Amino acid sequence: MLKTKEDKKAIKRAKLLAGGDKFIGSEPEPKSIRTRMDINKAYNWYNYSCDIKQMIPWIIEFMKNSDRYTQEQIVAYRTVPDYRTILTVGAIARMVNNGADIPYETLDWAHEKILEILTYAPVIKKGESVQVKYTVSVADRVKEKTSTIIGNMEEELDKFFDGGYASEFKPYDYMKKNDVKAIHASKISGYYEALRAELQETLIGKDDQLKEGYSRLTKPQLRRYLEFVNNIILDAESIAQIKKATRKTRKPKEKSANQLTSKLKYLKESGPYKIASIDPNKIIKAQTLIVFNSKYKKLGIYAAADSNGLSVKGTTIINYDTAKSVSKTLRKPEDILPSVLATGKLALNKMFTGIKTAASSLNGRINEDTILVRIL
């Protein structure tokens, strides 16, 4: 049988804490599984007493009792090659099926591994052949990366036990070297918080079952174990805080002219005044825009506020100078508009200044009565 890295680590920890390489006795009772040490002991029993073929029906039952899987996924698991199944997942499934109260993070890990195993499912033949495909989401990638980092932390814990409850491992340096992200660091600290609470309760000594579970460890060993776990949590929290503080603000992707002007409502052509609108895309980054409201006979000039030029948001012109952007009513538009189309910038400004009607501020809004005359 093939064993994953996670299986080997769990077995090794169980052997160490159980005080030997062999288990004598029957299958662990659900009520006896309360601490992480209890779970590790149970892993050891299932490893020595069971094989993969026994575990596959347990995992399928576990999937049926969960709301995380479709019927297609449950059927697909039956088609996965036996050697792809992980012993630890089978043990967790069996304990849950029997009614054991397993920590959430352990259950979550088992569900992640089942989804990974399902990627090895071949074609299912039911009527017509159906290919079962599973897309790895961003959340799944985060979980996979976090699981790998935790696996390495667990390896360091094994070294800590083997080294007489002493270690030179520095979680902060490890996470910094491996560029652990804030999201991973937060999940790592969350993963070990339950273990820290369990060790703290054991040291207080009021829980008889915890005292029995950790009876092989002396108080100094328990304190060093707690200190090691606490360092992981504190360093992970520090990494998460630093990463969040130094994270660069994501620069918004620049929208195209078509995207910016897609909602702009304007009058494409005016028969009475024999004038048509320009392509609205030309407004983007222009320094000057001339508009004409055919309903109220108002000629307007939008002057850009800076070198970035004018832009559009929805149905509104933006980034214009509110002091320089004004409109005037034309008494005889049919006489003025031809000159507006043909006159240069200086002459146009002079002509606009010469219009005797009062100037009023522009509000940026463009509607179905507005002709986009020209840009300068």
Residue 19: predicted pLDDT: 45
User: Phi, psi (5° rounding) for residue 349?
Assistant: -60, -40
Residue 303: predicted pLDDT: 93
Please state, for a pLDDT cut of 70, what percent of the chain lies above it. Answer: 88
Question: Mean pLDDT across the chain, nearest whole number?
Answer: 84
Tokens of 336: 């003025």
Q: What's the length of the chain?
A: 376
Q: How far apart are CA 315 and CA 263, in angstroms?
A: 6
pLDDT tens digit sequence for 39-54: 878 887 887 788 888 8
Residue 269: predicted pLDDT: 92
Contacts for 305-313 with beta carbons within 8 Å, 24 or more apart?
309/284, 309/285, 310/283, 310/284, 310/285, 310/286, 311/260, 311/283, 311/284, 311/285, 312/260, 312/261, 312/264, 312/280, 312/283, 312/284, 313/260
Candidate from 18-32, 59-73, 222-236, 305-319 with smallest mean pLDDT: 18-32
Section 151-177 average pLDDT:
88
3-state secondary structure (DSSP) of residue 15: helix
pLDDT tens digit sequence for 258-267: 999 999 999 9
pLDDT tens digit sequence for 321-338: 999 999 999 998 888 898
pTM over 0.75: no
Residue 30 pLDDT > 90: no
